Amino acid sequence: MEWLLPVIIILLGLSGLPLYIVIVSLAMWGFYLAEIDLFVIAIEIYRLTDIPILSALPLFTFAGYLLSESKTSERLVAVSKALLGWLPAGLAIVTLLVSAIFTAFTGATGATIVALGALLYPALVSEGYRENFSLGLVTTSGSLGLLIPPALPLILYGVIAQQLDLEIQFTLQDLLVAGIIPALLMVFLLSVWAVVSNRQQTSQRVSFSWQRLGQAAKQSAWELPLVPLVLIGVYSGFFTLSEIAVISCVYLIIVEVFVYKEIPVKRLTTIGSQAMVMSGGIMIVLAVSLALANWMVDQSLPQQLFEWTKQYVDDKLSFLILLNIILLVLGAVLDIFSALVIMVPLILPVAASFGIHPVHLGIIFLANMQIGYLTPPIGMNLFIASYRFGKPIGEIFRSVVPFILLLLLALLMITYIPQLSLMFVG
């Protein structure tokens, strides 16, 4: 009978009960059975205030909302098209690059599809790209930036992993740098596919013009420095991530409010409120997840899971195969933030027992979740694209299948060539 309550809680969660209530209820149930004072949950939640790096999360969320509210996406597309439009399938490559950068800063694939989709999808179709290809490209591109700093899922994974007291230590900068090569690999493979599948359509290419590039760069002159600023800050370690987040927010307020004047001053409070609601939701889930993770560790659940896994899997290669299968299924039924806070405390210690570096696991985890955005039944990109473009879910899914296959190829390379993720990790 003691297992009836958690089953009921999980069923309520599947029926719509807020995730943080489900998690804290399971934690309370676990500590109660272990005869541990429930006050420990409050202590674990308060422990969130002892994580200085966590302040970067709401700040980058606010920066992302500022970018979404402005016309930054249009200016980025103009610069990228002027720079790369002469390439075969130039506009398709522009779509991949701009979407990846935009998602990295906004932290939301939906914002990318909504903001850039209205601009790029009609442009792709009007330049002769097949409608099915254009749909699949825009839908897939929305999640490409999840491995590029300062993407929120990367930060969240790092925060969770560093609370688990692992033998192998790493910095958040290590994790942020680790995602760049895998992300570029995904963009490269999809770019090759864009060129190959559109090789007979030569009318899309435009001649390179320094004048056009100069005009586009001039219009984006205030926003273009933001990308190298963040990347240099992360790579060099000269700034902490929180400092980079503060600089980004202040810089964007000055640029979007006072230079471009696209966001009224009075609108800042509304944007800030929306950003804090989103980041607050993530933080409360993270706080109660720390309590649940503490109970899991206290009950040796990761060790029990490792011992059970060893009965069927006895080497690192086989474990990685099993891990990817599990994560792909999770990505299809859970959103990325839920999957992170629920599964990382359970999976990471087991993976570490098989000798998998926590940074490498993080990139594998997020690469799987990125593919999960494109797979039924919960694939968020499918629903957002269906709503945005007025197409049936089935048609959207069929359009992304070739892109999913290429992302799976990239996932295999990321999984079995650890140096793609760890070459810059100290």
Average pLDDT over residues 49-58: 76
Average pLDDT over residues 59-68: 85
- Of the ranges 9-23, 114-128, 209-223, 405-419, the best mean pLDDT one: 405-419
Instruction: Give 3-state DSSP helix, strand, coil % of the chain, rounded to 5.
Output: 75, 0, 25
Task: Supply the pLDDT for residue 381.
Answer: 84
The Cα angle at residue 329 between residues 326 and 334, in degrees rounded to 5: 115
Q: How many residues does the chain have?
A: 426
Task: Supply the pLDDT for residue 201.
Answer: 63
Task: Supply the pLDDT for residue 72.
Answer: 84
Question: Which are the contacts of 404, defined by CB distance < 8 A and separation ≥ 6?
Answer: 140, 371, 374, 375
Task: Supply the pLDDT for residue 422.
Answer: 92
Task: Supply the pLDDT for residue 181.
Answer: 94
Give which of 391, 186, 160, 396 is closest to 291, Cα–Cα: 160
Share of the chain above pLDDT 70, in %: 95
Q: Quickly count: other Cβ atoms within 10 Å of residue 413's Cβ.
A: 15
Q: Is the pLDDT of residue 68 over 70?
A: yes
Share of the chain above pLDDT 90, in %: 22
Q: Is the pLDDT of residue 110 over 80?
A: no
Task: Supply the pLDDT for residue 160.
Answer: 86
Q: What tens digit of pLDDT does each residue of 128-183 get?
A: 888 899 999 999 988 888 898 888 888 889 888 888 777 888 888 888 889 999 99
Q: Is the pLDDT of residue 202 over 60?
A: no
Q: What tens digit of pLDDT does each residue of 334-363 get?
A: 778 778 888 888 888 889 888 899 999 999
- More confident call, 97 vs 341: 97
* Average pLDDT score, the chain: 84
Q: Quickly count: other Cβ atoms within 10 Å of residue 203's Cβ.
A: 7
Q: Is the pLDDT of residue 299 over 90?
A: no
Within 13 Å, how many C-alpha atoms sit on residue 401's CB side? 7
Residue 334's Cα: distance from chain center in Å?
13
Average pLDDT over residues 352-375: 91
